[in-house]
Amino acid sequence: MNQSKIGNVIQDDRLVALDVFRGLTIALMILVNTPGSWSHVYPYLLHAKWNGILPADLVYPFFMFIIGVSMFFSFAKTNSESNSSINRKIIKRVILIFLIGLALNYFPFYHKSISNLRIMGVLQRIALAYGLAAFLCVKLSWKTLWKVALSMLFGYWIVLLIFGSTDPFSLEGNITTTIDQFILGVDHMYKGFGIPFDPEGLLGTIPASVSIILGYLVGLKIKETPDRIALVKHLIFAGVVALVLGLLWNIYFPINKPLWSSSYVITITGIACILLAIMIAIIDIKGFRKWTKPLLVFGTNPLILYVISIVLVKIMIYITRWTDPQTSNTTTLYGWLYKEVYIPISPNNLEFASLLFALSMVLLCWIIGVTLYRKKIVVKI
């Protein structure tokens, strides 16, 4: 990357730290999603059951945050384009990402019925949140954008309070479930919580879009602060303030990933700002970059590598399966590899064996990413 440095001012619009942060997020998403066995996972690689934050709960909103930061620089390149052209690009991206997510839910197609196909999911949430955030960011000034984003967070809080049950932030009593059941239908919702409840549901898309908007505003701050040391200070200050506000809001509106609560948005954004500041200081100011190369591979093709990771897992679970002649039980390649390859490595610590399996999946996706990276293939949606 070509850049010149005058004092603490780096004459370069792009920060390597952004790509590293994006790559780290995707690598962690794959790691969290692909343990050898969900029965044997270290606690920090699991999501909080309901309220609260575990390390795994940082990953998804971090990616939303980075989408917002990247979106600012992407839109900065489209100043010469008409509003209709930008609108078409946004709509096209929303449709493509949503359909890819829906196709992943349906894959491998022949094994599933449309009658109980889950409609929402990680990519579907990203698509809808991106669309809402993108249109607001394009249409509004940054001062108005701040006000709208905060109004969306407070509005979401009030809607849950007014229309929920006597326990409006509980699994059974929140209004998001009622809305999803009415619009999507029970058969098309996630059942992993024991009842039909979708953690990537429709109403929660509103605060999720704010995660992207706040990232967009951070992108604006990056653009306006060429002095990187000053930028790091600004980001740390903003991060600490957001973190304190989020923890205070948690008293009244619990930090909750499945609901994507407003306190969750503010808290995670604060953590993201602090982590980004640390990365900028280490990578872009101090120049320690050699360790970042593997993460840059993930950061160059984030969505396609995430999709590949899901496809690989589904192939190992749904396509490569057979009947064990000794037990007559159905065995999958996924389960067989964990049992026959990874458990023997660490028979007395199954959590470690499960982690090794997940790390192998990350490595496999990285190898695919390296191939794309070396051939300078960047898959953009």
Instruction: Indicate whether 15 belongs to any domain.
Output: no
Decide: 315 and 108 in contact? Cβ < 8 Å: yes
The confidence band for 77, taking pLDDT boundaries of 50, 70 and 90, is confident
Write out the residue range of the structural domain in which residue 66 sits.
Answer: 47-288
At 93-117, the pLDDT tens digits run 999 999 999 999 999 988 778 999 9
- Where does a domain end: 264, 288, 312? 288
Of 288, 318, 348, the one marking the end of a domain is: 288
Q: What is the pLDDT of residues 25-38, one digit of tens each?
A: 999 999 999 999 99
**Euclidean distance between the first and the last CA atom of the chain, given in angstroms as a whole number:** 24
| Counted domains in the chain | 2
Which pLDDT value is given to residue 112?
79
Asked whether the beta carbons of 162 and 173 are under 8 A apart, the reply is: no
pLDDT at residue 324 in the model: 73
Are 313 and 244 found together in one domain?
A: no
pLDDT of 111: 73
Are 118 and 261 contained in the same domain?
A: yes
pLDDT at 322 over 60: yes
36 located within any domain:
no
Residue 367: inside a domain, yes or no? yes
The verdict on 263 and 317 lying in the same domain is: no
- Bond before 108 cis per omega within 30 degrees: yes
Among 254, 288, 322, give the residue marking a domain's end.
Answer: 288
Judgement on whether residues 302 and 242 belong to the same structural domain of the protein: no
Mean pLDDT along residues 229-249: 97
Question: Do residue 379 and residue 358 come from a single domain?
Answer: yes
pLDDT 10s digits, 150-208: 999 999 999 999 999 999 999 999 999 999 999 999 999 999 999 999 999 999 999 99
Residues 220 and 101 reside in one and the same domain: yes
What pLDDT, on a 0 to 100 scale, did the predictor assign at position 82?
63
67: nearest Cα among 103, 26, 16: 26
Q: Look at residue 152 and tell me if it is in a domain.
A: yes
Q: Kindly give, in sequence order, each residue whose CB lies less than 8 Å from that of residue 341, ignoring residues fewer than 6 positions away.
A: none
Q: Residue 347 — pLDDT band, cuts 50, 70, 90?
A: very high
Give the model's pLDDT for residue 13: 52
Share of the chain above pLDDT 70, in %: 96
